[in-house]
Amino acid sequence: MTENDKQTEEKIFEAATDVFVEKGMDGARMQDIANHAGINKALLHYYYRTKDHLFNAVFEKIAGQLFKKFAPVLDENLSLEEKIRFFFREHIGFLQRNPRLPSFLLNELNRNPERIKKLIQSIDINKLWATLEKQHKEELVKYNITRETIPQLMTSIAALSVFPFAAKAIISGIMEKLGYDFDEYIEVRKKYAADFVIKAITK
Amino acid sequence: MTENDKQTEEKIFEAATDVFVEKGMDGARMQDIANHAGINKALLHYYYRTKDHLFNAVFEKIAGQLFKKFAPVLDENLSLEEKIRFFFREHIGFLQRNPRLPSFLLNELNRNPERIKKLIQSIDINKLWATLEKQHKEELVKYNITRETIPQLMTSIAALSVFPFAAKAIISGIMEKLGYDFDEYIEVRKKYAADFVIKAITK
DNA sequence: ATTATTTTTAACTTTTTAGTTAAACTTATT
DNA sequence: AATAAGTTTAACTAAAAAGTTAAAAATAAT
């Protein structure tokens, strides 16, 4: 009963996640989601009244997942370099398991900027900088990191991790042509990106 | 007559570009395009039989524009460092004028990977490497650039330039919250990204 | 002026898709 | 066994959007 409820509700949710992530809100079809879940449209609407409801549920879960990956890195008890390496290993690892999330999220956010305010509430850059300053006071002098350049640095780190997946279609196409494998390229990238950033910020 | 034809055909094409780039193929409406062009739907179909025809025309032009920006940089008579600075200035400059292209292109390519083969034909990485090796034989010893790491380096450069625009909605949201301006952030980025890369690849 | 071309008007068809409904059926609960 | 909840079936409505049509009006070409 309640067990069963959750089973099918989850089946629906997972199917919806797959379809929305692949096709986007506009491209997704309720019938397609029902098929993926192995049920019929009537039951789909029985659980989620409208496409919007379903989409919002999916979107918020996904957005939460991706952003939560960023935050706790700074709290680890590691040196700055180790944190950077840790971040790329974990974050790229997460994206390996969810390669289509970046493209999906970036696109839906660009189309619907209202969604962003909610997400941004959870990010407090001032606090982030405070943590960084406290934990790495002595270390920071070795690096070209100032309060002014933090946005540039943060977005650069995000870019190096996220972009290969956001542009996966093109990059894997080029890789294939060169006889390389996208998955290998990504595996190598965990270290390359970390080295790249550390080198770039070291005085 | 023929003059007029081109006028309205261009009007349509520009309107279609605007709408497709903003809404994507699935989200765009033919009626909306007609309105933007200041004409009616009948005339729109008179010039472009179907939505698909119109979209393909728009997509190919845009994709061509963006990729052409990458290639000719290497042919300039400049040092490697100067080329890197030149690239970020030019490429980010282009994206400043066309901020929505990255999100649009990445998304449509991910949804429709067949399109990619056409685009990739125009890129010849082997030739690119040959040019690089020839023009910078002596210089290259100063840098951590090998044939093996070229894909990593190239995608990193692309990432640093393109990602801020692909993620503009989020980044400008965060900037706003911090009292910074996205446009200033981008202006600064032309130099920051160049310095970042040069520092990262210098031995 | 006349003819040809472009453009508008406005109603129309067709297709696709979201969402509804009611009845029958199945499975779990008591 | 009886009741309730979950699920299917299949036909349906309503709305949105693509695409069509034919006739009238405006504009350009000869």
A30: the nucleotide nearest its CA (via C1') is: C18
- Which pLDDT band holds residue A4 (cuts at 50, 70, 90)? low
Phi-psi category of B129—alpha, beta or left, where left has phi over 0 and alpha has psi -120 to 50?
alpha
Task: Return mean pLDDT, chain B.
Answer: 91
Residue holding tokens 């790329």?
A88
Question: What SS3 state is found at B149?
Answer: coil
Q: Name the stretches of chain B with pLDDT < 70.
A: 1-6
pTM of the model: 0.93
How many other CB atoms are there within 10 angstroms of residue B53's CB atom? Answer: 12
Single-letter amino acid, residue B26: D
pLDDT of residue B1: 42
pLDDT of residue B30: 98
- Give the contacts of A76 (CB within 8 A, at least 6 positions apart): A82, A83, A86
Q: What is the mean pLDDT of residues A69-94?
A: 89
Burial class (CB in 10 A: 0-12, 13-18, 19+), B146: exposed
User: How do residues A59-76 score in pLDDT, each as one tens digit?
Assistant: 999 998 887 777 778 778
A74/A179: higher pLDDT: A179
User: How do residues B128-158 score in pLDDT, each as one tens digit?
Assistant: 788 888 888 888 889 999 888 999 999 999 9
Instruction: Suggest the residue from B107, B171, B181, B190 to mutate for an interface test with chain A (most A CBs closer than 10 A).
Output: B107
- % of chain A residues with pLDDT over 70: 97
Would you say the C-beta of B26 is within 7 Å of strand D?
Answer: no
pLDDT of residue B106: 95
Protein residue ranges contacting nucleic strand C, Cβ under 7 Å: A 1, 3-4, 28-31, 41-42, 45, 49-52; B 1-2, 4-5, 7-8, 38-43, 46
| B48 DSSP 8-state letter | S
Rg of the Cα atoms in chain B: 20
- Residue B143: phi, psi to the nearest 5? -120, 155
CA distance B46 to chain A (A): 26
Task: Return mean pLDDT, chain A.
Answer: 91
Given a cut of 60, is residue A2 above it in pLDDT? no
| B80 DSSP 8-state letter | H
Q: Using the beta-carbon criterion (under 8 Å), do B192 and A166 form an inter-chain contact? A: no
